[in-house]
Structure 1
Amino acid sequence: MPKPESKRLIPLATAAEVIDALGHARVSELTGKSYKQVWAWRAAGIFPARYFLLMVWELSAKGYSAPTALWRQTLPRNKEALLWILARKLQAA
């Protein structure tokens, strides 16, 4: 049986897809923000940068990845891939 970290992550492209994948209530719980605020992020198409690591961790645990730009983060493409690999390995540890 393959290890969980060896599975490919399912890429998400938009903030709406991230919210749908995690669940609206889970995003609200993770960030401590209201349901209304999460809807505002969905409409704006971006998240506050301070929630980047929390949400990346949760996405990785569920088998998803998303562009770091959704949190106003910029990383070279190869480093962005490394970020998702590290998140998966940390989840498995």
Structure 2
Amino acid sequence: MKTTLLDGMPPAKFDKHIIGNLLLTVATPDEVRKEKMLIGVRNEEGDIYRLIGATKVNSFNNASEELEDLGLVDELQHAEEPQDGFDAIFREA
């Protein structure tokens, strides 16, 4: 899986736990957006600051489970289609 921080967006306080729990390769925003499935992570202000891209459904599901284990919730868990290009958007509960 690939990840990137978005310019100008402050990382969330819990961001170090994301890096510690997921095996991520740092890439450019364009490279991450080319992945099959895209996860956004919101900071405390409600802005998406981190993108995570997964090529395989299994990788996407593993990343989602890890983020849920950190106490984050997926805003799109009941959505039937991606929203604004995101398959999941995680935020603090």
Shorter-chain TM-score: what band? Answer: under 0.3
TM-score, length of structure 1 as denominator length: 0.27
**Larger C-alpha radius of gyration, 1 or 2?**
1
**Bigger relative CO (Cα 8 Å, ≥ 6 apart):** 1
TM-score, length of structure 2 as denominator length: 0.27
When you count strand as a share of all residues, which structure comes out higher?
Answer: 2
When you count helix as a share of all residues, which structure comes out higher?
Answer: 1
